[in-house]
Chains A and B, each alone.
Chain A
Amino acid sequence: MSKKTYLQALNEALRQEMERDGKVFIIGEDVGQFGGCFGVTQGLYDTFGKERVMDTPITESAIVGTAAGAAASGLRPVAELMFVDFIGVAFDQLFNQAAKMRFMFGGKAKVPMTLRMPQGAGIGAAAQHSQSLEAWFMHIPGLKVVIPSTPYDAKGLLISAIRDDNPVVFLEHKLLYGMEGEVPDESYTIELGKADVKREGTDVTIVATSLMVHTALAAAEKLAAEGISAEVVDPRCLQPLDKETILASVKKTHALVIAHEAVGFAGPGAEIAAMVAEEGLEHLDAPIRRVAAPFCPVPFSPPLEQAYIPSADDIVAAVKAIR
């Protein structure tokens, strides 16, 4: 165990899986000697060579489709898109091809590919390089959707994603790459579809994902000072979604706030709220509240961008409205 950044944890997961399994390879734009746009694949090219760390042309359909075709042919690719926003260019290869191959071929295909994509606002990258698009992927049967919030989770979940026999969309947050945390040096897995309670509490459940987990933890601190005990639940995977952990928490706290950076309308929180309303309404003694980005593209100018990203105060206000 030692302190590592989220980025180092991801890099270590890739390295250890490539050492373990010769069928694992990396494919994407500038992932080779350049080390990836944000540096996640740094050093892997030097160790594993161009045969296993492949720089592609800037053609996202070819990247995602190559990963899908290679996965269906027995390899275990880890593809990287530089920004999640670029998935629009390649979406057919993900949602019509990779995600559906197994089902439409009657169970004959296995598509063990991982598609890593950074998302999120906060670095002034504006409307086409800052989105949080997890709801798109949650909506597609056949895909798994992983969205880690800590260095520890990032490593264990990426290793699990690579070993999974399904196409896994792995969503990293740009602002988390530099975050440090304790991460075991050895390889380990975290089961996909298991939530983690990041802070225990008794008065309200805050279900938060990715960067918002940390915003929610900051909000929980503030609430504690005011005598409100918040429990912070990080689903870690949105598909499959760990309903049990969320419902168990709501059963204990009787109130639910959901926080995510994706826009609120038809966002991931809508599904979580609907699930709790359908399966756990009797546990609630207050309306469900969502804290999310407003319904507009991600803006450029810093004050606008800060106004766009949900804050700890937004979460505190949402909690206080029902508690």
Chain B
Amino acid sequence: MSPDKKTLVKMYETMSRIRLFETKLQEFFAAGRIPGFVHLYIGEEAVATGACAGLTNADKITSTHRGHGHLIAKGGDLKLMMAEIFGRKDGYCKGKGGSMHIADFDLGILGANGIVGGGGPLALGSALASKYEKTDAVTICFFGDGASNQGTTQESLNMASAWKLPLVFVNENNGYGISCPQCKSMAVTDIADRAAAYDMPGVVVDGNDVLAVHEAVTEAVKRARRGEGPSLVECKTYRWRGHFEGDACTYRCDEELKEWMAKDPIPRLEEKLLEGGVLKKKDVEAIRARIEQEVKEAVAFAEGSPLPTPAELLEDVYA
């Protein structure tokens, strides 16, 4: 079943929001305005967007080091995110976490994660809590192709299946674990094949097709809500930028990048929406203008927020 018009437009907006937010980060990083380092999601927007479009705030996600897209797709506040990435006091984590450690428990965002494969076991706990409390909340565990090789991920797939936890493993296969291509780090072509080892459904979808992602994850979420256990959805995609900003990307060629840029998920949905009469050209322009304004306001909020003071250093170590 194809999503309703409202969901389609929401997904278009979400992908655009991620793209414009991160394009701004890319610009700021190059200008030396962001401390630390950032891992951008540009090119992979369809995965987070399609996966989260059908979730409620009661549903949970665990995210990764490349987490901005997941957070925005789950409803994260751009102002609080931007302020956090700027290291400001009014950021999501009072400047204590930065790009890799943003969480919003009220929205079901259990945190981005600096450790590859770190989110799987936490997602088990979140899904177990839903089962224990007999709610119908589902947890989505986002993880990359690199994380798919970690023991934590395999442990999590196993236990989620053995315990029939309401969990959906959404694999973002962007082809590279930092510089290492998939063919060097695993013998399988499809990470979804590993689902069979744990007796759970495993499907491969075009991760640059937001509708395909949405359909597959929606199916998996329904299954999880019915109490039938976890699924693995592998989304084949590509990151346009390096592993981190500043990565020279010597491990891949321009042709490959160009091929994937031609499969940009945002114009793909835009064309469908224009063809289907869901949006008109002027609607698209209005959406873009509105989101540009949101990003502008987020930047102004971040810039207007004070830096934390050393007096705050020892706060929140313990509850």
Contacts and interface: CB of A to CB of B under 8 A. Distances in A.
B121 A70 contact: no
A71 B105 CA distance: 13
Contacts of A110: 319
A102 B317 contact: yes
Contact of A57 (B97, B133, B155): B155
B129 A69 contact: yes
Contacts of B129: 69-70, 73-75
Interface string B83-120: 00000000111111100011111000011011100101
B307 interface: no
Contacts of A71: 125
Given A75-B132, A104-B93, A141-B317, A97 B122 contact: yes
Given A51-B132, A103-B96, A70 B125 contact: yes
A56 to B, nearest CB: 7
B61 to A, nearest CB: 12
Given A73-B129, A110-B319, A93 B152 contact: yes
A77 B96 CA distance: 26
Interface stretch (A60-68, A152-160, A315-323): A60-68
Contacts of A103: 96, 316-317
Interface string A136-153: 000001101000000000
A133 interface: no
Contacts of B156: 62, 65
Contact of A109 (B60, B95, B105): B105
Contacts of A101: 103, 111
B74 to A, nearest CB: 15
Task: Identify the interface centre among A69, A75, A107: most chain B CB within 10 Å of its CB.
Answer: A69
A165 interface: yes
B15 interface: no
B264 to A, nearest CB: 33
Interface string B154-184: 0110110010000000000000000000000
Interface residues of A, number: 41
Contacts of A187: none
Interface in A69-110: 69-75, 77, 92-93, 96-97, 101-110
Most chain A CB neighbours (cut-off 10 Å) among B97, B115, B318:
B318
A104 B111 CA distance: 9
A103 B95 CA distance: 10
Given A101-B111, A102-B317, A106-B316, A69 B128 contact: yes
A109 B96 CA distance: 13
A62 B121 contact: yes
Contacts of B114: 96
A210 interface: no
A61 B317 contact: no
A93 B121 contact: yes
Contact of A105 (B62, B93, B120, B155): B93
B103 A65 contact: no
A166 interface: yes
B126 to A, nearest CB: 5
A102 B318 contact: yes
B36 to A, nearest CB: 13
B125 A107 contact: no
B123 interface: yes
A25 B120 CA distance: 20
Given A56-B159, A102-B319, A69 B96 contact: no
17 contacts: A61-B155, A65-B121, A65-B124, A65-B156, A69-B62, A70-B125, A70-B128, A70-B129, A72-B110, A73-B125, A73-B129, A97-B113, A103-B316, A107-B94, A108-B93, A108-B105, A112-B319
Interface of B: 60, 62, 91-97, 101-105, 110-111, 113-115, 118, 120-130, 132-133, 151-152, 155-156, 158-159, 162, 315-319
Given A25-B132, A109-B105, 18 more contacts: A57-B158, A62-B156, A65-B121, A65-B122, A68-B125, A69-B62, A69-B129, A72-B125, A73-B126, A102-B318, A105-B93, A105-B111, A106-B93, A106-B97, A108-B104, A109-B103, A111-B319, A112-B319
